[in-house]
Amino acid sequence: MAFSKQQIIDTMKSTGLVPLFTHDNEEEAQLVLEAAYKGGVRVFEFTNRKKNSFEVFSHLIRQRDKYPDLMLGIGTIMDGTTTRKFLDAGADFIISPILKLEMAEVCKQYDRMWIPGCATLTEIVTAKENGAEVIKVFPGAVLGPAFVSSIMPVVPDLQLMITGGVEPNERNLNAWFAAGAMCVGLGSHLFTKEILETKNWNLLRQKVASSLEIIRQIKK
């Protein structure tokens, strides 16, 4: 099914977490997605970082009937042509580490969510003026929670997703949400090398569930 932009925003806001993950093996990528889904994730970003990312993503899209309420998007998209390619493949949303306005135009044509990456207030306001309803603050670990808390009073209706160095522990997550983040993106700190090497999908499910619970308690 197709999800509206508002449905995606509401789900990002309610769960507070968007996992970001890439893999070059279709079956293992699906097992990771399934573990995250069973842990409570409902918005998932597969990242375009492998030579065969399009094929793996297309496989996940073909399996989506198994996860009917999962909103599945693609990240690390850098231009309009690639944006169109993944939207045609069925992506619910597009996430980029950069601000490139040609991507906004393509997403507008498809009526799909465009989440650009920004690292300055000027970029953030430019993104907002060009239709970005959710903006990715990247790299989060470099900018820090103080950056978010400083800009929120200037543009108070911002909906920010923090990505890059976010850690799944109470101290780090609390710092971001206290600063004003709407949600966070978790990658390598969630999908650890150990979990992937041992294929411990049950541990991954537990880690995801624990992260979501920490966020739920913070946002109460």
Give the integer Cα–Cα distance in Å for 220 and 209.
Answer: 16
Which of these, 52, 16, 12, lies nearest to 177 by C-alpha position? 16
Buried b (16+ CB within 10 A) or exposed e, 118-135: bbeeebbbbbbebebebb
Average pLDDT, the chain: 97
Phi, psi of 58 (to 5 degrees): -60, -35
Strands 43-47 and 17-21: parallel
Query: Residue 7 has what pLDDT?
Result: 97
Give the integer Cα–Cα distance in Å for 116 and 109.
Answer: 16
Listed by start position, the domains of the chain span: 5-215
- The 10s digit of each residue's pLDDT in 155-209 is 989 999 999 999 999 999 999 999 999 999 999 999 999 999 999 999 999 999 9
pTM of the model: 0.96
5-215 CATH, one of 3.20.20.70, 1.25.10.10, 1.20.120.1200, 3.40.50.300: 3.20.20.70
Query: Residue 220 has what pLDDT?
Result: 85
Instruction: Give the pLDDT band of residue 1 (cuts 50, 70, 90).
Output: low
3-state helix, strand, coil in the chain (%, to 5): 50, 15, 35
- The 10s digit of each residue's pLDDT in 52-87 is 999 999 999 999 999 999 999 999 999 999 999 999
Query: Residue 71 has what pLDDT?
Result: 98
Query: Residue 2 has what pLDDT?
Result: 80
pLDDT above 80 for 25: yes
Query: Residue 73 has what pLDDT?
Result: 98
- The 10s digit of each residue's pLDDT in 112-159 is 999 999 999 999 999 999 999 999 999 999 999 999 999 999 998 999
Query: Residue 156 has what pLDDT?
Result: 84
Q: Sign (positive/negative) of CA torsion 208, 210, 215, 219?
A: positive
Instruction: Give the pLDDT band of residue 97 (cuts 50, 70, 90).
Output: very high
Give the integer Cα–Cα distance in Å for 94 and 96.
Answer: 7
